[in-house]
Chain A
Amino acid sequence: MLKKWARSALMGLTLSALIGAILPVAGAVEITIACGAVGIESRLCREGTESWAAATGHRVRLIQSPNLSNNRLALFQQMLAAGSSDVDLFQIDVIWPGILATHLIDLNPYYGEEQRQAHWKTLIDNNTIGGELKAIPWFTDIGLLYYRSDLLDKYGLPVPETWSQLASAAMRVVDAEREAGRVRMTGFVFQARAYEGLTCNALEWIASYGGGQILSPGGAIDLHNPRAVSALNQVAGWIGTFVSKGVLTYDEEDARGVFQSGNAVFMRNWPYAWALAQADGSPVKGLVGVAPLPKGGIDGRHAGTLGGWGLAVSRYSKHPALAADLARHLTSEAEQIRRAIAGAFNPTRPAVYRNAAVLAAHPFMGSLSELMDNAVVRPSRIAGERYNQFSTIFWNAVHDILSGRAAAADSLAAAERRLRRLSRNGRW
């Protein structure tokens, strides 16, 4: 009695083996893949490539790349701009398909309609630039609200449904705890450093209030609107009260450090923080809950920004078909199940979230599936290769608002003007 995923794994391998046999390759070929840095991510990637290599008879060489995505992007860009064929298959961030589009092949011919449909449509859409599929989704991420269940219980507070509820709950707890001598207690930590993470956070606030996603699918800019202004005004008002000013310098790990050392009531972070907060030795082990990020108001919506990585084949690869086949293998259902169980990498296929083995290993994943349906996508597909400029203008404007350097309305209006200039009036 084969389990379903084991069966599909076997099928996938047979298929790969078949392709390997049919393709007119004179002998074993070496495919180079840049995935992960070191540690478990690299290990899971290696195991995945090994099973493909065993089935097809080809070799795979793993290249480790730096942990920080900015360094990674710099490295990849340099290699690709020089037309280097050293790496065939790249692991790329969800916001890179547009930036790197000219260097990547269209994967549609290698990845049929049916295969594409097995992933979330938002992800496939996100990776499709000008009708070409630039990357196959591999694993994903989404913004979540972490809370201290013990503290909420202690003060008889519910898990907040709206940002206002979060604010009043945080204020209440912080005041009482500080009174009790815990001067470092802060209400809510998130990522407000001047970097891409702030774009993710701010997009969530604005979207939760129905303030849109800044760029319409057609490219029109809508940033300076009353909902966005009031959303950002609200957040700016928190800073200096139950949110410490330090949050303006926080990235994911800063926020996690504060939350995990027991110094914050709420935290916005990616799913990775869950396993760490619940690990042995964590001061908040067993005291943490996870929920969707709050809505803007009663009529608002839960909005979590989408993150994650896909696999893309370089235009300069000498073996694009084989590289695409390896990408297909690594992103297959069986592989995603294996990676979900062993490393908590969130699958990009809805079906995997219903898999019993996955849910048994990470009960927490079941709830992610629902959130994925309402995820907010950064407009990287629309802004294309100018996405980083777009994002920089946006996060700078938000950072100015949060640090009190500029009023929300002025700052957003100025940012909107800059975006118009950048996009030549929304043509991108």
Chain B
Amino acid sequence: MWGIDPLMDSNSKPNVRRAVRVTAGAGLERWRVRTAWVFLAPTLAVLALVAGWPLLRTAMLAFTDAYLSRMAEARWVGLENFRWLLTDGDWWRSVQNTIVFTVASVSVQFVLGLGAALVLNVRFAGRGLLRAVVLIPWAIPTVVSARMWRWMYHDVYGVFNDLGLRSGLLAQPVAWLADDTTAMAAIVVADIWKATPFMALLLLAGLQAIPPGLYEAARVDGVGRLNAFVYITLPLLKPAILVALIFRTLDALRVFDLIYVMTSNAVSTASMSVYARQQLIDFQEMGYGSAVSLMIFFVIAVFVAAYVTAMRASLVEEG
């Protein structure tokens, strides 16, 4: 308790009336719930305002044949858009591409991010600089970094081919983005580079929240480092891992810029968002495009549900 005592003493003059009210047993809980709602209200209000209308609108348009240049003439078409969507091979291809992309990039990002976070959690000279440097890939605007990677993958003046040719690993230049399989791999690599910092930083914050005392106690008890990692670090890091994975997966499932810059609208690598954008912007199909957006929402919801089920324990445990 020594950690918080000074704060208490300096900040709160005992307030008898409130203390009495607060300690009044069951009343305390009710009072806390009311406070919780009061505290939540501004956030909910802001979200209802900025996200509420756009999302409601999307949900409504999904059942119409709205066309961007003639919005006023939109008619209700029921589930028609979804019927078309479910039979469109290009859509299913984009779902498949997106899932492959997400699973591949998020899992590698998790492993690398955890490794980086562990390194950054150790005290050493230059740690501050490394912590700043690690964020560089995340800090370069995606529109630019995606173009940069496209440039690096170029078959004639790209740096990867140059390195490969110089070192003798490649006999001739490879067009990384032209072939279906290497294109997806190349896109995943670029995303790993881009988003690992996000993962690393969130996990680092999680590591910082683990009391160092626990490790000391473990060392005294003769627990090895690997065991300490498995039995102390991982369980305590679980909530941070969950939130990092959820948000990274959410982002990966909505990937747009990276793929659009690398391979444009090519069906073999297009993601769900690329498909949605094509419908909403290029084709002006607001109705159909909104239905696509709604489907993307459901696909993402399935992933979120899977995470939560898998890691349920850590969420419910303390709440």
B156 and A99 within 8 A (CB): no
Cβ distance B285 to chain A, nearest Cβ, rounded Å: 8
A249 and B263 within 8 A (CB): yes
Partner of A183 from B150, B165, B268, B282 at Cβ < 8 Å: B165
A403 at the interface (CB under 8 A from B): yes
Do A99 and B165 form a contact, CB below 8 Å, given A245-B155, A246-B178, A249-B263? no
Write the B173-187 contact mask toward A (1 if CB under 8 angstroms, else 0).
Answer: 101011110010000
Give Cα A42 to B282, complex, Å.
25
Give Cα A403 to B269, complex, Å.
13
Most chain A CB within 10 A, of B68, B69, B178, is at: B178
Cross-chain pairs A/B with CB under 8 angstroms, 18 sampled: A77-B69, A77-B281, A81-B71, A103-B69, A184-B156, A194-B267, A245-B175, A246-B178, A247-B175, A248-B178, A249-B150, A258-B156, A261-B157, A385-B67, A385-B69, A388-B282, A388-B284, A399-B266
A100 and B69 within 8 A (CB): yes
Residues of A within 8 A of B278 (CB): 392
Do A194 and B264 form a contact, CB below 8 Å, given A183-B173, A246-B173? yes
Write the A92-112 contact mask toward B (1 if CB under 8 angstroms, else 0).
Answer: 000000011111000000000
How many B residues have CB within 8 A of the partner chain? 31
Minimal Cβ-Cβ distance residue in A for B183: A249
Residues of B within 8 A of A234 (CB): none
Cβ distance B252 to chain A, nearest Cβ, rounded Å: 22
Residues of B within 8 A of A405 (CB): 268
B107 at the interface (CB under 8 A from A): no
A195 and B178 within 8 A (CB): no
Minimal Cβ-Cβ distance residue in B for A198: B264
Minimal Cβ-Cβ distance residue in B for A178: B172
A70 at the interface (CB under 8 A from B): yes
A249 and B175 within 8 A (CB): yes
B68 and A77 within 8 A (CB): yes
B13 at the interface (CB under 8 A from A): no
B283 at the interface (CB under 8 A from A): yes
Write the B64-90 contact mask toward A (1 if CB under 8 angstroms, else 0).
Answer: 000111110000000000000000000
Write the B254-272 contact mask toward A (1 if CB under 8 angstroms, else 0).
Answer: 0000000011111110000
Residues of B within 8 A of A263 (CB): 156-157
B194 at the interface (CB under 8 A from A): no
B178 and A102 within 8 A (CB): no
A165 at the interface (CB under 8 A from B): no
B154 at the interface (CB under 8 A from A): yes
Residues of B within 8 A of A230 (CB): none
